[in-house]
Chains A and B, each alone.
Chain A
Amino acid sequence: AQSVTQPDIHITVSEGASLELRCNYSYGATPYLFWYVQSPGQGLQLLLKYFSGDTLVQGIKGFEAEFKRSQSSFNLRKPSVHWSDAAEYFCAVAAVDSNYQLIWGAGTKLIIKP
């Protein structure tokens, strides 16, 4: 069955440290891949997306993600986190199997230590 896994429910990072949030998917073919962010009390906002081409994609707010076909992963990274990055991050995929509806991961809550 199609699935999106974000193995970390919570991650705590010190301000200024680097960040990597994991996302794995299970699909027959390469899906379209997305990261969304939900700040406290807000709706979700698209951070970045991958459709095809260069496997390293740049997004807003200094985030990037790398698609690794061999690992079925699309991990989100940021070199240096800021306190304002504290939020919940959702990985999502869309594929022909799901009629191109977004299938969502469970989310990872990012906590920033001062």
Chain B
Amino acid sequence: DSGVTQTPKHLITATGQRVTLRCSPRSGDLSVYWYQQSLDQGLQFLIQYYNGEERAKGNILERFSAQQFPDLHSELNLSSLELGDSALYFCASSPGQVSYEQYFGPGTRLTVT
């Protein structure tokens, strides 16, 4: 158990809908990272937040957004969903702003039908 929690575990929704994925980092960690893992694209870094502020952006679509709240939990919002957004979404956390040792949650499996 990494100490990172993600909810929900599974999510099934229709195209065009909007969903919110939630992540609680390990106690004491200030950075949260979001990743998308799909069969065709592999593991893709989406975005990092550090202590409430966006720190780094990866391959995140404009339809996706994230935020980190004062209690350090984070939410990833996915809107106007397409079939291709079906994937496993991971959250990871780490103590610092520039941290290589990331602790991953179990993931949220999103299925868009």
A36 to chain B, nearest CB (A): 8
Instruction: Give the number of A-B contacts (CB < 8 Å).
Output: 44
Q: Which of A32, A41, A46, A90 contacts B43 (CB 8 A)?
A: A90
A46 contacts which chain B residues (CB < 8 A)? 101-103
Contact status A43-B45, CB under 8 Å: no
Q: Which stretch, A15-23, A60-68, A98-106, touches the partner chain B?
A: A98-106
Q: Is B52 an interface position by the 8 A CB rule?
A: no
How many chain B residues touch A (CB < 8 A): the figure is: 19
How many chain A residues touch B (CB < 8 A): the figure is: 19
B25 contacts which chain A residues (CB < 8 A)? none
Q: Is B12 an interface position by the 8 A CB rule?
A: no
Q: Which of A43, A49, A101, A107 contacts B90 (CB 8 A)?
A: A43
Interface residues, chain A, CB within 8 Å of chain B?
32, 34, 36, 41-46, 49, 90, 94, 99-102, 104, 106-107
